[in-house]
Chains A and B, each alone.
Chain A
Amino acid sequence: MDEISWLIWAFAVSDAPVERFLTKKNWIRTISLNSSELILLFCYNSPDMTRSSELRPIPTRHPRSDREWIESLAPDHADFNSALTDLREYLWNGIRHTFKGSGKIGEEHLEDFCQEALMRVLSKRNSYSGKSRFTTWAMKVAVNLVLSEIRKKTWQDVSLDAFDDTEPFLDASRGNGLFSPQERKLFRKEMAELCNKLIQESLTDRQRTALVYHMKYGMPLEEIARRTGSNRNSIYKLLHDARMKLKQEFERSGVDRDDISALA
């Protein structure tokens, strides 16, 4: 028995939170493994399942129904290995195509995230409700995980001191044919003052902070949640309440769609 097999066997019989150990990447992370993940580890450490950044030729196979996917991804199913290979290839193809070249992340990280995604799909497959095809659902799970990881990686070391919160609301530098540059400048200035006033006076401190970091600096909701000890849904709700409040205030101040198009 080689080292990794011994480790997995030892963890399997202990049935306790364990460290996952992948020889290829030297990963050590503390997570709980379930039986299907253990089998996945075995598969990934066997020669014919070695990960490669290059896609292998597309195997000839019959398309699986959603039910067949679910059944064959059970660790004790005879078709488990081939289903897992096919699913990995399917996810990797989509993930690689979509995220590669975004400049945010190297291919090696992308492969790691994709493998994490495969594990998550496997462990969550019983929550698949059948509202879409299984493969669409699996891709959704994978994209969500990879994007979350990329956002985390992009934002984790960003210091808030890097942001300049003194930039004026409107610079009134652009114009179009509807207004003279002077009229336009005045209008944009008025709108700027109104927006600033409403943001300052109508929103709570939490709403204002979330709005500014999200809109001005593009900080993802998840990152705001992480930094404020909240969750994405609560931050969305916070922003929703802020928007509803501003909507009310804009209506009260007589801002209509024509005003908005004049701002373009």
Chain B
Amino acid sequence: MKMKTGMKMPLGSKHAKILVLMAKDSREDELDCESVAENMDSYAEYVLNSGESSRLILLIENHLKLCKDCAEEFKLLLGALKASERLL
């Protein structure tokens, strides 16, 4: 299926602030989704065990701020890990 292009009035009102904030938080050295997916398990352990921060951690956090798909995935992963913890 093709995407419709050339939209005239693109975004709804609630997205204005998000758009400007996202632009502000954007940086040249952002991680892409693949790199975040690769490190999402160690990042989850960092969050669950209050580990030590690093440049990688900061870049992952930056990506999760900017990419709602990865952010959703990470939230679900944390929930799943917490739910299954008692089985270990």
Contacts and interface: CB of A to CB of B under 8 A. Distances in A.
Nearest to B80: A94
B16 A195 contact: yes
What's the dominant secondary structure at chain B's contact region? helix
A166 interface: yes
A212 B17 contact: no
A208 B8 contact: no
B18 to A, nearest CB: 7
B23 to A, nearest CB: 4
B1 to A, nearest CB: 5
A213 interface: yes
A246 B19 contact: yes
Contacts of B11: 169, 195, 199, 211-212, 215-216
A215 B77 contact: no
B55 interface: no
What's the dominant secondary structure at chain A's contact region? helix
Contact of B13 (A90, A168, A211, A255): A168
A104 B40 CA distance: 24
**Interface size band for B:** 35 or more
A77 interface: no
A83 B80 CA distance: 19
Contact of A243 (B17, B23, B39, B83): B23
A134 to B, nearest CB: 10
A263 B76 contact: no
Interface stretch (A9-17, A30-38, A231-239): A231-239
Contacts of B4: 160, 163, 165, 209
Interface string B11-27: 11101111111111010
Nearest to B66: A243
A136 B44 contact: yes
B19 A195 contact: yes
Contacts of A43: none
Interface of A: 58, 63, 86, 89-91, 93-99, 131-133, 135-137, 139-140, 142-144, 147, 160, 163, 165-173, 188, 191-192, 195-196, 199-200, 205-206, 208-213, 215-216, 220-222, 224, 227-228, 232-233, 236-237, 240, 243-244, 246-247, 250, 255, 257, 259-260, 263-264
